[in-house]
A and B are shown apart, each in its own frame.
Chain A
Amino acid sequence: MNKINIKTLIIILTLASIISSCTERIDIKLDSDRQRLVVEAIITDIPGNQYVKLTKTADYFSNKPPEGVSNAVIKIKTSYNTITLNENDSIKGFYEFPFEFVGVQGSDYSLDINLDSEIAGQTNFTANTKMPYLSDDVDSIQVVWNPRFEAWVIRLFALDPPSEDYYMFNGIRNGVLITDSIHKVNIANDNFFNGNYTKGVAVLVLDDYELEPGDTFTLALSNITKDYAAFVNEIQTEIQANEPLFSGPPANISTNISNGAIGWFTAYPTFFSSTMVKEKAETKL
């Protein structure tokens, strides 16, 4: 259970029970800010699973998908060579790596983007990242049904190394990614079990409809950098509803891209562990 869960629990239980709070949609006029470049750049150790996505920011109430940025020259420099990415023919602003390219644990990568026209006065954007080593020694996972919260809980049995580690957990059902948006993944540090056996720590909580008995569930465990963990945490915090008892003031998401662009260039290795989902009654929390 991480801090967000503790907070959420307190908020829900206490507020729900004592306060007659009401919520309604309201109209607010917001100002516009100048457009900026948004970079989503990911290198993994799985073939065909690396990309760079370039889009633009939009007005808050624009209510349509973001506009892709085409015709950029994107280069990735590794410790021994430089590769150039190709833009996908059908998805505007989506740039692909050569299929055989995979990230290597412990390697450094640089990203260099050159646009054919300025965004917020800039055409060149750069970023650096390093792929961490896979650290956990995973024994097994368990999928259990929690009747109280009416949710599936994914439990991890693994030995955490003594180093300071940051994890990202994704869920895959019968080969299809369930955590298909960054706000659905779980980010954890090892503060509470550093160097110890994790004893079935809850690493993902999924809604009733997201799994069914008989499914094959796969947990994807990735070691991520501390900075990327903070970045994802920030996104998850900012899209959550604020309330005056616990929330700090809203704040912009950090970035590791230069020249005023938003987004993150990240690299991480992933370990997969699968299990069959049992009937709800057969599982024990």
Chain B
Amino acid sequence: MQRIFLILLILAAVFPAQASKEPKGKFTLSGFVKDADNGEMLPGATIYVKEVKAGAATNTYGFYSISLEPGTYHIIFSFVGYANIEKTIDLNNNRSLNINLKPSTEYLSEIEITGKAKNDNITQAQMSVNKIDSKTIQAIPALMGEVDLIKALQLLPGVKFAAEGSSGFSVRGGSPDQNLVLLDEATVYNAGHLMGFFSVFNNDAVKNVELYKGDLPAKYGGRLSSLVDVRMKDGNKKEFHGNGGIGLISSRLTLEGPIVQNKGSFMVSGRRSYADLFLKLSSKEELKNNILYFYDLNTKMNYNLNQNNHLFISGYFGKDVFKNKEFGMNWGNATGTARWNHVFNDKLFSNFTFIASNFSYNLGLTNEHGFDWTSNLTDYNLKGDFNWYLNSNNTISFGFSSIYHDFFPGEIKGTGTESFITEYGLPNNYALENGVYITNVQKIGSLISLKYGLRISMFNNIGPNTVFNYDSIGQPLDSTVYGKGDFYNTYFGFEPRLGAVFRLNESSSVKASYSRNYQYLQQAQNSTAGSPLSIWFSSSPNIKPQYSDQFALAYFRNFENNKFEGSIEAYYKDIKNAIDFRDHAELLLNKYIEGEILTGRAYGYGIEFLLRKNSGKLNGWVSYTYSRTYRQIDGINSGVAYRAPYDRPHDISVVLNYNLNEQISLGLTWVYLTGQPITFPVGRFVYGNTVVPFYSGRNDYRMPDYHRLDLSVTWREKLNPGKKWHNEFNFSIYNAYNRKNAWIINFQSDTKDPSITYAEMTYLFGIIPSFTYNFKF
């Protein structure tokens, strides 16, 4: 196994030499596609060669490379929301060509799309992927006006929120901890602010987000269900600009501009909430003295050393703080990414990344009985990724990733003079997670395209550590102590990622894919919505890695000259070593946490319908999903399969945005979901004068169905060439028809007569209007 790693590394080193050997008689056209106004790289832009009726797309850094016979070609460069550029190229040597696309005047009229170049959703072998840019996210009515990327993702087919208002989400029935959430390649371990009601992503700093549902590119691994790849804006390379806003919950300010004209730029974006200012107005003394806020800061710098070398440095820092006279709590993520894009030659593009990522929380009492409880997790990650544009029919990607994990699951210490807590801590846990991959996208004729690749992952637990052995009911028996630097446990994962597309005609295709993913880290969390007080724990001698197999089939069809994109995808997913927790598990500050874990099988299937329109006066999407998801784990529900918490068969999302005119646009979102599975009591007994329920099988019942309508209207100041400052007002209504959606249903005893029991429903948000002011300069 070590040899395969080595071979791939050596390949990486010798490729530059190999790659420059041209296949005879062909020349390569390569370069970057950028936004003409601000110099941002445009990932996923399409390059279409009319003469050969084929094309390519830019990679995540906006780089493209295409090999053609010598000749004269008409090439169309295009990107959603941008005006196309058509170039006539005389190709008689290898050429480099950078293209600047102009954003189309989005509110004016229907954008005319020259059909053929715009059907890459039809032609690409990649399936189960959805892409949203920040403008689309901005147009979706938001809770309390707080534009939220994660909430936008939850409206896509196959994605469901974990609980109302939660930043946790389930993709194709998977658990929230099976989503790999990356911000500029750095893992974000907890994507929620304010107990998860708002996500950590400040939309002003975001360029776009791509969601891969199970069928992950071989480049990525470590999670079973999805990849959420969030890219920050690079910053305007040409002019200094800013934008910001004042909302009900928070204020935002983003500044961007060139460091050196056309060569380098920066972007800084900050956000701070002020919910606690409202608390000051409260008449209740105990609320008045609370401090409660979150903030986050996104920064990015990039610099073009020359045509072939490009540096990016980006960082995120966010924190939630809650404090009063005696009690304090905070949690947050910090990530840093340094990237170096290097173009070895017109056929070989590379990117090297170093990432540090941290998630921590802390809570404590500050009085004489004070205590301090901390937990954190730090990752260091080194990656190398290569795109080798072998010829016009084969694009090979390969690379490696190595992550060092340092888990500090928790420690509690007395701090006050009269603290009764002496000290209780869980030892650090170290692990190494490596991966190498190689994948090829191959075109066979004009109708078939294949994507085949393999990722090999390797996971090592590293000492020092004490590993407990457990009996069948999870009680610790004895333990083994491992010394510092001991690689005491190793797992390998072979992860094939296969896909194929067969084009039926210019506007429709059939796709199929199979992917296997391994996951070596999981969250100790058995509540549905999730809280920041959770810890991540790794595979170990006691806990085998989870792995999933997903089979998917799809039919893609575009209508009306590619104005409408339609797709139907069906999948079946099977997860082995799936994790759940023993009844009444204690997951916080528990030395014997591995004894609380049970493993088994999780499986699910579904069919997803999507009709999407990306441009024009009316845009948005309508989706319907039918899906089921179950778990079968010995020791839970008497070993009988039960509905996973995210089993909500019917799921409809309607997301519409209508540009009435240049100034006014209207937004509408409607969601419908089958009620969440829940366990209800089927009887009761009395013990020690207390009425205690006993329950049905796990998740045998359902809450009432969930549905909600959100509306918004945005007014923009008329664009005026002479005026730089630009105002925008947004008014939105969350839950417009005031549906009382159950957040939880509880069964309680009457306080006066405990023998009387009743059911009680808690719902979170009634109708919530909000107002946001945004500006740009």
A residues with CB within 8 A of B: 1, 3, 6, 9-10, 13-28, 30-33, 35-36, 38, 40, 55-66, 148, 180-183, 185, 191-194, 196, 198-202, 230, 232-235, 237-239, 241-254, 262-264, 285
A32 B683 Cβ-Cβ under 8 A = yes
B584 A234 Cβ-Cβ under 8 A = yes
A244 B747 Cβ-Cβ under 8 A = no
Contact A27/B759 with A13-B290, A199-B418 known, Cβ cut-off 8 Å: yes
Chain A neighbourhood of B421, CB < 8 A? 1, 192-193
Chain A neighbourhood of B765, CB < 8 A? 19-20
Interface centre among A30, A196, A285 (most CB of B within 10 A): A30
Enumerate B208-253 residues with CB–CB distance to A below 8 Å: none
User: What mask results when residues 712 to 756 of chain B are scored 1 for a CB within 8 Å of chain A, else 0?
Assistant: 000000000000000000000000000010011111110000111
Enumerate B269-312 residues with CB–CB distance to A below 8 Å: 275, 279, 286-287, 290, 292
**Stretch from B47-55, B350-358, B401-409, B525-533 at the A interface:** B525-533
A18 B683 Cβ-Cβ under 8 A = no
Chain B neighbourhood of A264, CB < 8 A? 687
Q: Can you spell out 17 A-B residue pairs with CB atoms less than 8 angstroms apart?
A: A3-B589, A10-B533, A13-B290, A13-B322, A18-B292, A27-B759, A35-B683, A56-B685, A66-B686, A200-B418, A238-B693, A239-B749, A244-B527, A244-B528, A244-B529, A251-B695, A285-B368
A35 to B682 Cα, complex, angstroms = 10
A242 B324 Cβ-Cβ under 8 A = no
Which of B589, B696, B758, B766 lies in contact with A20, CB distance below 8 A? B766
A191 B424 Cβ-Cβ under 8 A = yes
B690 A252 Cβ-Cβ under 8 A = no
Q: How many residues from B make CB contacts under 8 Å with A?
A: 90
B363 A248 Cβ-Cβ under 8 A = no
Residue of A with least CB distance to B580: A249
Chain A neighbourhood of B684, CB < 8 A? 57-60, 62
Task: List 13 additional contacts besides A181-B688, A250-B679; criterion CB under 8 Å.
Answer: A1-B369, A20-B766, A23-B763, A25-B759, A28-B745, A32-B682, A56-B685, A191-B424, A193-B420, A235-B690, A239-B691, A243-B762, A264-B687
Residue of A with least CB distance to B746: A241
B685 A262 Cβ-Cβ under 8 A = yes
**B326 contacts the other chain (CB 8 A):** yes
B residues with CB within 8 A of A: 162-163, 166, 194-197, 275, 279, 286-287, 290, 292, 322, 324, 326-327, 329, 363, 365, 367-369, 371, 373, 412, 418-422, 424, 526-531, 533, 581, 583-589, 645, 679-696, 698-699, 740, 743-749, 754-766, 768
A31 to B695 Cα, complex, angstroms = 10
Chain A neighbourhood of B424, CB < 8 A? 191-192
Contact A245/B420 with A14-B195, A192-B412, A263-B687 known, Cβ cut-off 8 Å: no
Chain A neighbourhood of B768, CB < 8 A? 20
B763 A252 Cβ-Cβ under 8 A = no
Closest Cβ of chain B to A215, distance in Å, is 22
Residue of B with least CB distance to A199: B420
Which of B290, B584, B681, B760 lies in contact with A26, CB distance below 8 A? B760
A181 to B684 Cα, complex, angstroms = 16
Closest Cβ of chain A to B484, distance in Å, is 26
A192 to B681 Cα, complex, angstroms = 34
Which of A22, A25, A192 lies in contact with B766, CB distance below 8 A? A22
B418 A237 Cβ-Cβ under 8 A = no
A183 B327 Cβ-Cβ under 8 A = no
A62 to B689 Cα, complex, angstroms = 16
A20 to B581 Cα, complex, angstroms = 31
A263 to B693 Cα, complex, angstroms = 12
Chain A neighbourhood of B757, CB < 8 A? 60-61, 63
B683 A40 Cβ-Cβ under 8 A = no
Residue of B with least CB distance to A191: B424
Closest Cβ of chain B to A183, distance in Å, is 5
B422 A245 Cβ-Cβ under 8 A = no
B679 A21 Cβ-Cβ under 8 A = no
A129 to B761 Cα, complex, angstroms = 40
Which of A10, A250, A253 lies in contact with B329, CB distance below 8 A? A10
Residue of A with least CB distance to B273: A18
Which of B322, B326, B419 lies in contact with A199, CB distance below 8 A? B419
B693 A38 Cβ-Cβ under 8 A = no
A20 to B420 Cα, complex, angstroms = 36
Closest Cβ of chain A to B654, distance in Å, is 25
Chain B neighbourhood of A63, CB < 8 A? 755-757
Contact A201/B420 with A19-B764, A250-B695 known, Cβ cut-off 8 Å: yes
B422 A196 Cβ-Cβ under 8 A = yes
A22 B763 Cβ-Cβ under 8 A = yes
B694 A262 Cβ-Cβ under 8 A = yes
Residue of A with least CB distance to B749: A239
B322 A14 Cβ-Cβ under 8 A = yes
A165 to B685 Cα, complex, angstroms = 29
A249 B526 Cβ-Cβ under 8 A = yes
Which of A10, A15, A32, A235 lies in contact with B692, CB distance below 8 A? A235
Closest Cβ of chain A to B53, distance in Å, is 52
Closest Cβ of chain A to B697, distance in Å, is 10
A183 B766 Cβ-Cβ under 8 A = no
